[in-house]
Chain A
């Protein structure tokens, strides 16, 4: 039986990094190639030696698919392609291909230039890797090779995030990457066809989270900003140029309008240019509201949010500033942070993950004394808040996706084991399908129904139609008789005559024979006639003939009578029938064994 195998090298009962191997129909696919942000050594990358110890990765893997630009999904890609040596196709959507190198370069700078780590990819490697990437459009089926095809679907989560449907023959798998089933302020909701995959591999970050939690976080965020402003403090929000920044800007703009607040909100210039560039490029990936707004005005032409100048940081009074980069490791956000860190009235809100070694990571871990360049120390007195605004599907969202795609099996990744266990129970109970949650390194094997394509000859179809049957309909399977022949590695269903002709074979008739003893005190011809009469009365609608050669024929069945040598009253009936009339032949032998009715003439 054909089977699909799924082995997570990362994201199996954890959220460290995603890297999942799928073997389907003889093809091997890697889904995401993420980096673990918690390590400073080679452990940050998946251990590719588990994939193949003999030969190159390119020989083993048919393709790599990246779901979105977050580093825990794409961070190990240049390492794999340029340092380990993978030269095959890499697929990702257009926005992911555009944004991914920016993040990778940013991270490389921190790791190599700032922290001086070695055994890391270079800028040239990032570029060379990106040159191997084949961009995907939504809902466009891409043929990786003659047998393997992939199709991307909108996943929400971040700009360019995609779910992917992988198909080999009649077997298929859907991988969701990270997704969001509810539209947020700038992106739409994930959507997929009712594609009925054999396995749906879904993230489960918020497997037990309730739907309202994001609204709560938004309320919390606005409350904290508002309180700081009210007491005359300044709020710094370090952000990455793309993603949550746009969402938070829209959130604050609406709040300021509603509350009629006067404190200025600024955003750094680099942020505007980059964001506008990518949102213009990929406007079709945002939600409907943004698309409409974009037609009328520039994305960042907010009423309350203005462009930032570095001199504003020294202005007295409250203000809110969005500045890059998001982890406070360099640039404008770090400069502002240094200026404001000493005042306990101020606040810094970290809306996303911070890599170890960055100022962002240190302050989130409670460090209040920071060593800066030149051995100077910085006292952190301002308030530090962490709020995750990442958009993942919650339990309801995951169930909704299952309803949409109608998978035959479910496999959970990218989540904590305890939460997965809970969701697994729910899924199995509600959908009566198997739900798997392999740990890293564990392989789940799912057996699929074999499906072999067969061509049907036109003659056979015409004959079927001539018999008055309905036209062929894939949704209404029905029995069809023919001969299955295999020629040049393909299967054909043809009529038996055609099969003999095509294969150059002679026809042989197979006949079954049977002897039945009967007590009948008549002459042989009389007994035969009595049989003829009896069958005539029993088998209505059949062709029954009494032939001059002393036989009775019912369709292809021949009946002869002879007397027993010992006892003339005992007649021996010889029945012979062809394979096609097997049922009728069996029926007749049973019937005649019971004897002839006495009233027959």
Chain B
């Protein structure tokens, strides 16, 4: 127990040292010196511990401390000469706690990250044993995921220099590492993927000036970039390293090629992991490595794209886009094979996969006009079908998907999912150049408003669109929230002023709905504020709309649910900032609330039983009154309420107003 107390104390001190940023400067403070002197005893405790430590974070913190010291330029072996002995004892003693072994493996990697550290540990034959996975297999410890994580992370830390790479290659660690890619533990599998990416990216040669590593032979529709192993060799890197690296690249690429296409449905997990690795690699690989990888897996990628595994659509799309855009940024014409793959992904049969692929395409940023126009049309298709608004015109390129999309929209879960993807992307769609858009942005707003009406069961809209799909979206909070977010995002596109009245009408209808979910109501308020602030010219809001808004705000501020009252109070506060930024500033939010005085309303809210609402009322009052002050009015006790001034709320309010004025 006493020994464990020593360990805890050291853990606490490590925290303290880190908090004070002492490690950054490597100033050996009193506390640091105390830690250094305590470490041998801590090591003794760790060597002797046959069972789990009481605090599972203490080893992590100790490692953080070591990492901090290393980053600051210190040598762990010089500062703590006891460490090699400690590591040697732990790795030889398989009865140690798995947590301690894992820590030791990571510590070994940290020390071996420098060539000196590596040499010293090698001379004592520590690394051979520590990273010999057979040794841990035989001890029955490999089953424990923390040992596997320790092994991977230790190697990952170590692989910072060519000697470590040689060690890795000679020990033949590539295959076990590839096998860990499909480990039962998510953490191990992910760490293995990161590690594989690290090896390939860290040791990749820098391209010589003017080198683009490609020999284009376009024309047969396949990926034909010819990149040879020789391309990735570089004169600046020692021959041994280059050979080691080439061996690793070859082994990994061959494995990826063989395993990318699942042999049966159960192999999807492996394909997914490989796709994730390829995405990591393609995002950062230099042309030579990128081309080599693409050349190796091109056939498999095509095969996967044709097979149409729904689970793999998004990662596959990510890779294709990564390859497509990275080759474009090199100043080359995108590879025909990649372009072909991209086109086929945007023509998939299954509507839900198709729409996700289109969304992924748009998310990636500006691409070529043809594909962008296709993606936009696909994304707008569900909205076009449901609302009956002719967003895509009559003669469209996505007509082939219309039938299958309608069929899919008739089933509730995919319907909601697809319409939400469509709505989430509308704000991105309106940013596209006009020649890509199949309709003016105003029409998209009209469609979103129609959808909002359909969701609330407004029968006037039910004649235009697809009746069999309506039942799936009526009352769906998820669709309503997405549509309101889309409406908020669409407010900034040009020419929206004309829609202001319609938007207000729909949103006020929403706010009036007694059964409305508080989160939907919150988003309705947000949309209102955004449209008001973007449109600037508040005179466009008719007197009747102001009256209606005022009525609903008065009603909602007394709602049973505190969430609704709070959102309403927050809304009133935000009106003040909208008014102050308007083209023709009016007196106060009252002007927008059709003469309803917001201050008394907020004053009432100061007495709300829910503290959150009271706090929002203070904030809203501050925003409103700060606006009045700017208009030259004096803050009177009457404005805030005599009683409230007597309470501590006054201080809070004044502080809040001052902060706003500043």
Query: Which A residues, 253 to 312, have Cβ-Cβ distances below 8 Å to chain B?
Result: none
Asked if A365 contacts B12 (CB within 8 A), the reply is yes
A54 touches B145 (CB 8 A): no
The 3 closest A-B pairs by CB, nearest first: A38-B57, A441-B187, A54-B314
Q: Mark B402-425, 1 if CB is under 8 A from A, else 0.
A: 000000000111000100110010
What residues of B have a CB within 8 angstroms of the CB of A443 in the complex?
Answer: 184, 186
Do A356 and B519 touch (CB < 8 A)? no
Contact residues in B for A130 (Cβ distance below 8 Å): 563, 612
CA distance A585 to B318 in the complex (A): 64
Which residue of the partner chain B has the closest CB to A489? B411
Give the A interface residue count (CB, 8 A).
Answer: 41
Are B318 and A441 within 8 A (Cβ)?
no
Known: A14-B56, A59-B421, A441-B185. 13 other contacts (CB 8 A): A40-B19, A50-B187, A54-B315, A127-B566, A127-B612, A130-B612, A131-B518, A131-B567, A146-B413, A365-B8, A365-B12, A366-B5, A416-B52
Q: Is A440 among interface residues, defined by CB-CB distance under 8 A?
A: yes
Interchain CA distance A563-B386 in the complex, whole Å? 74
Dominant SS among interface residues on chain B:
helix
Chain A residues with CB under 8 A of B8: 365-366
Which residues of the partner chain B approach A132 to less than 8 Å between Cβ atoms?
A: 519
B276 and A53 contacting across the interface, CB-CB below 8 Å: yes
Tell me the residues in window 2-21 of chain A with beta carbons closer than 8 Å to chain B beta carbons.
7, 14, 16
Q: Are B185 and A55 in contact (CB under 8 A)?
A: no
A146 and B186 form a contact (CB under 8 A):
no
- Give the contacting residue for A50; candidates B51, B60, B186, B567; CB below 8 A: B186
How far, in Å, is B157 (CB) from chain A's closest CB? 17
Say if the beta carbon of B197 comes within 8 Å of chain A: no
CA distance A441 to B146 in the complex (A): 11
Assess whether A421 is interfacial by the CB under 8 Å rule: no
Q: Does chain B have a CB within 8 A of A36?
A: yes
A451 to B440, CA, bound (A): 49
* Chain A residues whose CB sits within 8 angstroms of the CB of B187 once the complex forms: 50, 440-441
Is B519 touching A131 in the complex (CB atoms < 8 A)?
yes
Q: List 29 A-B contacts (CB under 8 A).
A: A7-B186, A14-B56, A36-B57, A38-B57, A40-B15, A40-B19, A43-B60, A53-B276, A54-B314, A54-B315, A54-B318, A54-B360, A59-B420, A127-B615, A131-B567, A132-B519, A146-B413, A356-B12, A356-B15, A357-B15, A365-B9, A366-B5, A366-B8, A439-B144, A439-B185, A440-B185, A441-B145, A442-B184, A442-B186
Q: How many A-B residue pairs have CB under 8 A?
A: 82
Are B412 and A146 in contact, with the CB atoms below 8 A? Answer: yes
Partner of A441, one of B12, B186, B314, B411: B186
Interface string of B163-197 (1 = CB under 8 A from A): 00000000000000000000011111010000000
Chain A 436-447 near chain B by CB (<8 Å), digits 1 or 0: 000111110000
CB distance from B218 to the nearest CB of A (A): 30
User: A417 interface residue, CB < 8 Å from B?
Assistant: yes
Within 8 A of B (CB), among A427-469: 439-443
Which chain A residues (95-147) contact chain B, with CB distance < 8 Å? 101, 115, 127, 130-132, 145-147
In the assembled complex, the CB of A169 is this many whole angstroms from the nearest CB of chain B, namely: 13
Chain A residues contacting B518 (CB-CB under 8 Å) are 131
B188 & A38 in contact (Cβ 8 Å cutoff): no
Assess A441 versus B57: contact at CB under 8 Å? Given A55-B314, A131-B566, A365-B12: no
A116 and chain B: residue at smallest CB distance = B19
Asked if A582 is at the interface of the complex by the 8 Å CB criterion, the answer is: no
Quick check: is B481 within 8 A (CB to CB) of the other chain? yes
Known contacts A54-B314, A59-B420, A131-B566; is A442 also within 8 Å of B481 by CB? no
On chain B, the residues within 8 Å of A101 by CB distance are 612
A48 beta carbon closer than 8 Å to chain B: no
A300 to chain B, nearest CB (A): 21
Contact residues of B between 544 and 596, Cβ < 8 Å to A: 563, 566-567
Is there an interface contact between B52 and A418, defined as CB atoms closer than 8 Å? yes
| Chain A binding surface SS class | loop
Contact with A along B3-38 (1 / 0, CB 8 A): 001001100100100010000000000000000000
Report how far A14 CA is from B146 CA in the complex, Å. Answer: 13
In chain B, positions 606-630 with a C-beta closer than 8 Å to chain A are 612, 615
Bound CA–CA A115/B615 (angstroms): 24
Q: Which among A54, A56, A87, A145 has the greatest number of chain B C-beta atoms within 10 A?
A: A54
**Min C-beta distance of A209 to chain B, whole Å:** 16
Report the nearest A residue to B144, measured CB to CB: A439
Confirm or deny: A39 has a beta carbon within 8 angstroms of a beta carbon on chain B: yes
Most buried by A among B57, B314, B424: B57
CA A489 to CA B414, docked complex, whole Å: 15
B188 touches A441 (CB 8 A): yes
B290 interfacial by beta-carbon distance below 8 Å:
no
Q: A87 touching B481 by the CB < 8 A rule?
A: yes
Cβ–Cβ contact A418 & B9, under 8 A:
no
With both chains docked as a complex, state the minimum distance between the C-beta of B583 and any C-beta of chain A, in angstroms. 29
**Shortest distance between the CB of B482 and any CB in chain A (Å):** 9
Q: B106 in the interface, Cβ–Cβ < 8 Å?
A: no
Contact indicator B186/A39 (Cβ below 8 Å): no
Residues of A within 8 A of B615 (CB): 127
A444 nearest in chain B by CB position: B184
Q: How far is the CB of A132 from chain B (nearest CB, A)?
A: 6
Of chain A, the residue at the smallest CB distance from B522 is: A131
Given A38, A59, A366, which contacts B9 in the complex, CB threshold below 8 Å? A366
CB of B55 closer than 8 Å to a CB of A? yes
In the complex, what residues of A have CB within 8 A of residue B60's CB? Answer: 39, 43
Please name the residue on chain A nearest to B616 by beta carbon. Answer: A127
B190-A50 in contact (CB<8A)? yes
B592 to chain A, nearest CB (A): 23
Kindly list chain B residues whose C-beta atoms are within 8 Å of the C-beta of A87.
Answer: 481, 519
CB of A16 within 8 A of CB of B315, answer no
> What chain A residues lie within 8 Å of B421 (beta carbons)?
59
Inter-chain contact A131/B412, CB cutoff 8 Å: no
- List B contacts of A357 (CB < 8 A): 15
Complex Cα distance, B63 from A39, in Å, reads 13
A283 to chain B, nearest CB (A): 18
Closest to B146 in A: A439
